[in-house]
């Protein structure tokens, strides 16, 4: 992880993210995609669902960044967004929340080469979605 990403995720108040700075969002996706994907994979035990929920997490985070108050680190806030996406999915599927808390120290399952390729493609889709939202949001505010 580069120094810029560490600064953004550990020290920044989230001002760059709140300003919907495209580079800041790309850094966030680069730094957190695998962690959020693995969280969803542990919670759903399904790689396709985990990938969909990961994409939904980043889109939801972008759309709701105004709710980020800066009381926590951006990565902590993103974790909360991911958990909310997972809870919403569970409700839609008629499933109950897991009864036990998951330990963050659990080893992450290593994705296969095919899953890595798919994750890369989905990451690009997220970048494209953020870019479109930036363009549309900028055009609407003018």
Residue 98 burial by Cβ neighbours in a 10 Å radius (0-12, 13-18, 19+): exposed
Confidence check: pLDDT of 136 > 50: yes
Determine the pLDDT at residue 126: 86
Stretch 38-67: mean pLDDT, rounded? 91
Fold of 15-96+107-141: Rna Polymerase Sigma Factor; Chain: A (1.10.1740)
Nearest-angstrom CA–CA distance, 118 and 1: 21
Determine the pLDDT at residue 6: 40
Confidence check: pLDDT of 72 > 70: yes
Determine the pLDDT at residue 97: 58
Q: In this predicted structure, which of 9-13, 67-71, 77-81 has the lowest mean pLDDT? A: 9-13
Q: How far is CA 76 from CA 47, 52, 100, 120, in A?
A: 23, 20, 20, 23
Determine the pLDDT at residue 36: 94
Residue 132 burial by Cβ neighbours in a 10 Å radius (0-12, 13-18, 19+): exposed
Query: How is the chain split into domains, by residue range?
Result: 15-96+107-141
């Amino acid at each position: 992880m580069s120094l810029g990403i560490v600064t953004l995720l550990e020290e920044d108040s989230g001002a760059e993210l709140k300003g919907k700075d495209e580079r800041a969002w790309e850094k966030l996706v680069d730094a957190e995609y695998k962690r959020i994907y693995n969280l969803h994979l542990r919670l759903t035990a399904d790689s396709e669902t985990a990938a969909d929920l990961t994409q939904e997490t980043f889109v939801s985070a972008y759309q709701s960044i105004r709710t980020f108050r800066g009381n926590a680190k951006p990565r902590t806030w993103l974790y909360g967004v991911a958990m909310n996406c997972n809870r919403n999915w569970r409700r839609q599927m008629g499933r109950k929340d897991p009864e036990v808390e998951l330990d963050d120290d659990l080893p992450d399952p290593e994705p296969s080469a095919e899953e890595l390729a798919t994750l890369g493609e989905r990451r690009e889709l997220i970048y494209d979605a953020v870019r479109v939202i930036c363009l549309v949001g900028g055009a609407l505010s003018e």
